[in-house]
Copies of this chain bind each other. A is one copy, B any other.
């Protein structure tokens, strides 16, 4: 019943869909050539995708001869919900299959309340309403997540441990639910919809209240052997440095994060909080120097990371993109120090992330796998 011939077509459907989404508008013959399949097959597969509402004609071209129909991801038929979960707040977005935000929501929330999943389900059902065309709900969580099984392993900020979020929420909502670590989800969104989506090998760095990263290789987010890949926040940059929340000394995040920068500014009597520090940076050289030092430290670590991974580009995202200009030069200078490898030449691309970016990332968890049949709660094939 789980025939491998069926799997073959299913694989081809996924491949075609993936190509259409990432490589922008494409004609059937383009797809056939790029994927090494025959035009006959593409005809069949594209028809299925169009019928399913995932793909639609977005343009047509002609030089001479029959016009080429160019296909792209559908803008209206289907959509997904993306949710960013925080300790006291939920932010949700409705995203169409092009990754465009078509609706949003923000609601108070208490992750440490008595029945956090019931409460979450309530907020979501109240908001979503009509469920036609809904592919599913994706949830991004800051913490360690077993995305494949849909479980939260440990999320200190939410106070959650070993919680079967996807299955439980799926029951309550009656929709497919996928969860993932927030940075991984954001990376996935970039792999599908970001400026670097044509590349199948790049890196993403997130700056903000913490510091995270992820590597996309062969078009897929790398999770590592234990799902802990991308942990650059607590790398030692100064063994004699101040103690970090993690228990170690001189972690990168203890220098390059909004709380750390604010704390350092406060100690130096430069600013009262981070917003104040940002204001001061416009005029006060000492404030700017503080960012530069952070940039140098960040750059040194990135030099190793980039030379190891050799990404096509490095995307900078997270709330911290707003102060990226203050550190960018120092980062670049440090990257250029390496004369071998790709550190010196990798393009650094700040991402225009807004408040809903993280939630959009969470939606990508669903958008990336629209063809999977609803996750069976029963047996899962082990590997």
Contacts and interface: CB of A to CB of B under 8 A. Distances in A.
Interface of A: 2, 4, 8, 12, 34, 36-38, 41, 199, 201-202, 213, 215, 217-218, 220, 222-236, 239, 246-249, 251, 300-301, 303-305, 307-312, 334, 337-343, 381, 383
16 contacts: A2-B36, A4-B12, A8-B8, A218-B218, A224-B342, A225-B310, A229-B308, A231-B340, A231-B342, A233-B340, A234-B338, A234-B340, A235-B304, A236-B303, A246-B340, A308-B308
Nearest to A296: B239
Contacts of A236: 300, 303, 334, 337-338
Q: Is the interface of A mostly helix, strand, loop or mixed?
A: loop
Contact of A308 (B300, B305, B342): B305
Contacts of A338: 234-236, 248, 251
Nearest to A7: B36
Contacts of A301: 304
Contacts of A383: 34
A278 to B, nearest CB: 27
Contacts of A304: 232, 235, 301, 304-305
A338 B230 CA distance: 13
Contacts of A342: 224-226, 228, 231
A341 B231 contact: yes
Closest 5 CB pairs of A and B: A224-B310, A231-B341, A225-B312, A234-B340, A229-B310
Given A225-B199, A231-B342, A308 B246 contact: no
Nearest to A12: B4
A312 B12 CA distance: 32
A251 B44 CA distance: 55
A338 B251 CA distance: 8
A307 B34 contact: no
Contacts of A223: 310
A205 to B, nearest CB: 11
Contacts of A381: 36
A227 B301 CA distance: 21
A304 to B, nearest CB: 5
A147 to B, nearest CB: 14
B235 A4 contact: no
A74 to B, nearest CB: 25
A343 B230 CA distance: 11
A233 B236 CA distance: 19
Given A246-B339, A308-B309, 10 more contacts: A2-B36, A4-B36, A218-B218, A218-B220, A225-B311, A234-B341, A246-B340, A247-B339, A248-B338, A249-B337
Q: Chain B CB within 10 Å — which of A4, A222, A307, A383 has the most?
A: A307
A272 to B, nearest CB: 29
B308 A215 contact: yes
A353 to B, nearest CB: 21
A234 B310 contact: no
Contacts of A307: 228, 231-232, 234-235
A34 B233 CA distance: 36
A182 to B, nearest CB: 16
A227 B339 contact: no
A308 B230 contact: yes
A338 B250 CA distance: 10
B246 A309 contact: no
Contact of A224 (B226, B232, B309): B309
